[in-house]
A and B are shown apart, each in its own frame.
Chain A
Amino acid sequence: MTSRIPRHIKFGLIALAVGFVITFGLFVDVIGRIQSMVKEKEVEENPFTPPTPPLYARTDPPMQVKIFFPGMQSDFILSAEEQTIFRSSELTNRAKQILQKVLEGPKTAGLFASIPKDTKLQEIFIDDMGMAYVDFSNPLYANHPGGMANEQATVYSIVNSLTYNLPEIRRVKILIGGAERDTLAGHCLLLPLEMDLTITNVPPPQEQVAHAN
């Protein structure tokens, strides 16, 4: 059988096979290099995280705050829970402590967590006009179970907890994954929002002060 194939064809086939092997080797090598480059890039995107500065000092005085969570009563979407934070000198740090409490969820029975699991607070920035830009990670909308009232509960547990306890903050703009979204999960508009106590069983802060006096 082999004797029938002319010699020059044989050589040609061998040369082709050798060429193919070399080319394939080069191809695999190039693919490997590209993959390693991509992997290196991923590593580069996560450089070591700088140590986060503490949100408060041990010497800071305590501060009573109301954290808003969805409750049992269906007439009111939100109820408040008393919690204590440190009155740190920086407004942003106080806001961060409040949002940490919102993310941690309620301690009282009968209240429910307002923020979907795995959600993280990424950044907060408060401008001179009293607008707080609060950036959460994607699970805030991706893991949200939905429902109009439930979505309103999530949005206003953030908005009310900040604006009720920190009068310096007048409006809250929620960002997700560093970007603006029209709505949280299809229902609630994420425009800059003011405090809304009509959906809670909590009196306005001024009345509370007047009552205490």
Chain B
Amino acid sequence: MRRFTTLLLLAMLLAAGLIHTQFLSAADTDFPIYFENSTLTLKSQTVDRTTYLPLLDIVKHLGLAYTDATGVLTFSIQRQNSRLALTPGSAFISLNDQPILLQNPIRRENGQWLVPLDFLSQGLSKVAGIEFRYRPGDPRVFAGNANAVELAMNAQSLGPTTRLTLRAGSPLEAELQRDASQHRAVLVLRGKVIDPTRERLDYKDRLAQSIAFDDSDGVAKVVIGTTDEVRDVRVTTADESRVFFVDLIRDITTEAAPAAAATPASASTAVPAKPDATPAIGKLKVIVIDAGHGGIDTGSTNAGALEKDLTLALARHLRTALQSRLGASVVLTRDSDVALTGEARSEVANNNQAGIFVSLHVGYSSNKVDSGSSIFIMKADFTGGMPPEPAGGRLFLPWYMAYRTSQPASQALAAQLQQDLNQALPGWKFPVRSGPIGVLSSLTMPAVAIEFGNINNDVSVQTLKDPAFQTKLASTVAAAIERFSESRPSGGRGQ
């Protein structure tokens, strides 16, 4: 029992000690107060999670009359008919004998008077006749007519470059100081008092370690912690010195990086994530194969055969055929049994800047004896009300009309596929149809959807399940794609 009591007492002591540490004052940090024509940098102290400032320095800077009566432990400030008095340990201050309650008490430590930030706005402003503005948590105060310029920071990775974008409310002067040995790049901002919307960016990548605003010494700057991989740092100014792009350039021998960094206009144009995924000019580089349906969306079914399984098997065969025949990079929208939306499928092709998109499906016809196969392209102007002009004539297109940019090429691809498939598979008919097909609508490259066979016909299902037949289908489609890509003029659209 006695041992238990001892342990309990020890635990209580430990808890009290832990609580007490909260009241311990933290190390001094620099804290600027911005006046209209000057800046006062103070050493702030954090006591009980509250920022305290040394009162005497502020009063002296403002040139106010004060008395520090150490005997009675009262500090008073006078100006004209106003008198402000404060006593240590009390959250009450008296202004012309009227009490004002602060959120935190006044402190006196090591012969120094310490005041919390709300003392400035609640008490001192009334005697000094100037306003103090601060955001809770921010290590700076703006006084009087000090006009602060808002500064917003944003960072993004643009392939081999990391770009930090700074936007200020009015023009600023910026100067880059780089200290490669310390892995630091400092952008000093002069000309105006700066009020950052955020103290630090929660951003990190292989080039940037940390990005923070720092004005503790009264000079506004953005400090970027860089990594070993950064070869060069460049600053580009835009919008009449209101916008600054700070580009951290990776240490690789690529031409893309300086080009991306040099032009401020490239802020809006993303550098492709894969350098090799350039648009197909003349020769196809990327082909996207879409295995229809997947996951919870089984597609059409009959006698235990699921459309989603047949399309995935076909897609894999087609990938092999295309890789061996064209040497192109082939991307499948799905390589497993997962459900994808139409937009997700389009995104795979658009983001990889594919030269061709082929969506694979199995047909279904209520008529069991129907062949069921079709080659679909997007139907032009299916909603009506749109002038039938080429896409070049329009500045902007809604996404569901992106197909218009490559409509003639899609037709040519469908015609080539029809010719080759009809030839290779006698008895199967592949009519070219056009319709408002969701998966084809937002694609910016030649795109078709092929329906093979009729899943409502048992013989057709057995044929489609046969791996040898799947290989034959895949090689026919691959051959048609090869012929189509060879027939296209370099860089041209359509035939």
Which residues on A are within 8 Å of B, measured CB to CB? 70-72, 74-75, 77, 112-113, 145-150, 152, 155, 170-171, 182-183, 186-189, 191-194, 196, 198-199
Nearest opposing residue in chain A for B374, CB measure: A149
Nearest opposing residue in chain B for A69, CB measure: B366
Query: Provided the pairs A113-B366, A149-B433, A196-B382 are in contact, do residues A74 and B449 lie with their beta carbons within 8 angstroms?
Result: no
Cβ–Cβ contact B433 & A191, under 8 A:
no
Query: Provided the pairs A192-B383, A193-B383 are in contact, do residues A152 and B433 lie with their beta carbons within 8 angstroms?
Result: yes
- A148-B435, A186-B342 known, 11 other contacts, Cβ within 8 Å: A71-B367, A72-B367, A74-B371, A145-B456, A146-B299, A146-B307, A147-B300, A147-B455, A148-B437, A171-B384, A191-B382
Contacts of B374 in A (CB 8 A): 148-149
Cβ–Cβ contact A147 & B364, under 8 A:
yes
Cβ–Cβ contact A148 & B400, under 8 A:
no
Does B123 make an interface contact (CB < 8 A)? no
Does B439 make an interface contact (CB < 8 A)? yes
Does B370 make an interface contact (CB < 8 A)? yes
Cβ–Cβ contact A112 & B431, under 8 A:
no
Contacts of B451 in A (CB 8 A): 147-149
Query: Provided the pairs A148-B451, A149-B365 are in contact, do residues A183 and B438 lie with their beta carbons within 8 angstroms?
Result: yes
Cβ–Cβ contact A188 & B435, under 8 A:
yes
Does B68 make an interface contact (CB < 8 A)? no
What is the distance, in angstroms, from A109's C-beta to the closest C-beta of chain B? 11
Contacts of A75 in B (CB 8 A): 429, 431
Cβ–Cβ contact B449 & A193, under 8 A:
no
Among B293, B370, B431, B438: residue with most chain A CB under 10 A: B438
Cβ–Cβ contact B438 & A146, under 8 A:
no
Cβ–Cβ contact A147 & B438, under 8 A:
no
What is the distance, in angstroms, from A171's C-beta to the closest C-beta of chain B? 6
Does B376 make an interface contact (CB < 8 A)? yes
Cβ–Cβ contact A74 & B429, under 8 A:
yes
Query: Provided the pairs A187-B439, A191-B400 are in contact, do residues A149 and B363 lie with their beta carbons within 8 angstroms?
Result: yes
CB-contacts of B369-388 with A (<8 A): 370-372, 374, 376, 379, 382-385
Which residues on B are within 8 Å of A, measured CB to CB? 293, 297, 299-300, 307, 342, 361-367, 370-372, 374, 376, 379, 382-385, 400, 429, 431, 433-439, 441, 449, 451, 455-456
Q: How far is the CA of A95 from the CA of B4 in the complex (A)?
A: 88
Cβ–Cβ contact B365 & A147, under 8 A:
yes
Q: How far is the CA of A189 from the CA of B437 in the complex (A)?
A: 6
Summarize A's interface: helix, strand, loop or mixed. loop
Cβ–Cβ contact B364 & A145, under 8 A:
yes
Those 5 A-B pairs whose CB atoms lie nearest each other, nearest first: A147-B364, A112-B366, A146-B300, A194-B384, A189-B436
Among A70, A150, A182: residue with most chain B CB under 10 A: A150
Nearest opposing residue in chain B for A192, CB measure: B383
Contacts of A189 in B (CB 8 A): 382, 400, 436-438, 441
* Other-chain contact of B449, A72, A148, A150, A155 (Cβ < 8 Å): A148
Q: How far is the CA of A186 from the CA of B359 in the complex (A)?
A: 13
Nearest opposing residue in chain A for B343, CB measure: A182
What is the distance, in angstroms, from B65's C-beta to the closest C-beta of chain A? 73
Cβ–Cβ contact A147 & B436, under 8 A:
no
Query: Provided the pairs A72-B370, A152-B433 are in contact, do residues A194 and B383 lie with their beta carbons within 8 angstroms?
Result: yes
Q: How far is the CA of A112 from the CA of B367 in the complex (A)?
A: 7
Among A75, A146, A152, A182: residue with most chain B CB under 10 A: A146
Contacts of A193 in B (CB 8 A): 382-384, 436
Contacts of B367 in A (CB 8 A): 70-72, 112
Cβ–Cβ contact A148 & B363, under 8 A:
yes
Q: How far is the CA of A72 from the CA of B361 in the complex (A)?
A: 21
Cβ–Cβ contact B364 & A186, under 8 A:
no
Cβ–Cβ contact B433 & A196, under 8 A:
no
Cβ–Cβ contact B435 & A186, under 8 A:
no
Q: How far is the CA of A147 from the CA of B364 in the complex (A)?
A: 5
Contacts of B372 in A (CB 8 A): 74, 147, 149
Contacts of B362 in A (CB 8 A): 147
Q: How far is the CA of A150 from the CA of B436 in the complex (A)?
A: 13
What is the distance, in angstroms, from A128's C-beta to the closest C-beta of chain B? 15
7 contacts between A and B (CB under 8 A): A74-B370, A145-B456, A147-B455, A148-B361, A148-B363, A148-B376, A198-B434
Cβ–Cβ contact B379 & A196, under 8 A:
yes
Q: How far is the CA of A199 from the CA of B374 in the complex (A)?
A: 12
Q: How far is the CA of A71 from the CA of B370 in the complex (A)?
A: 10
Contacts of B363 in A (CB 8 A): 147-150
Contacts of B370 in A (CB 8 A): 72, 74
Q: How far is the CA of A192 from the CA of B385 in the complex (A)?
A: 10
Q: How far is the CA of A77 from the CA of B432 in the complex (A)?
A: 12
Contacts of A182 in B (CB 8 A): 342, 438
Q: How far is the CA of A118 from the CA of B371 in the complex (A)?
A: 27
Contacts of B376 in A (CB 8 A): 148-149
Query: Provided the pairs A74-B370, A150-B366, A199-B433 are in contact, do residues A145 and B300 lie with their beta carbons within 8 angstroms?
Result: yes
Contacts of A147 in B (CB 8 A): 300, 361-365, 372, 451, 455
Q: How far is the CA of A77 from the CA of B431 in the complex (A)?
A: 10
Q: How far is the CA of A186 from the CA of B293 in the complex (A)?
A: 8
Cβ–Cβ contact A150 & B365, under 8 A:
yes
What is the distance, in angstroms, from A76's C-beta to the closest C-beta of chain B? 9
Q: How far is the CA of A147 from the CA of B365 in the complex (A)?
A: 7
